[in-house]
Structure 1
Amino acid sequence: MKRVLVTGVLMLAFGAGCSPEVGSERWCNRMDETPKGDWTLNETKDYARYCLLGDDKDE
């Protein structure tokens, strides 16, 4: 049982590392392909900020 739990945690950790950084061009492209009804409120705000308005992440 412990081995299954450890394997599951590792899979989640490695899977999260594959997502593009929020605000990057790759992230904006991925969001363009995602149905708008599946977006979270935070994703909607981030999309507007970084992809539509072009706000720089370093500010």
Structure 2
Amino acid sequence: MVEKFELGDIVEMKKQHPCGEKRFKIIRTGADVKIKCLGCERIIMLPRSKFVKGAKKIIQIQEN
């Protein structure tokens, strides 16, 4: 479970995308979280609660 995350962070999800990739980049936060698959570059929008439960860990933190 990931509690703190910001735009640009790369997270590993518990379940993989149909393309086989588990890493996603956060491109929007709010009540919903929009993530982009790093394998096929598709965009997925999840409710924040579902994203927090499904995120395994932060792989790379976006630096300013």
TM-score range, shorter chain: under 0.3
Higher strand share: 2
- TM-score norm. by structure 1 comes to 0.28
Q: Which has the larger radius of gyration?
A: 1
Higher helix share: 1
Higher relative contact order (CA 8 A, sep 6+): 2
- TM-score norm. by structure 2 comes to 0.26
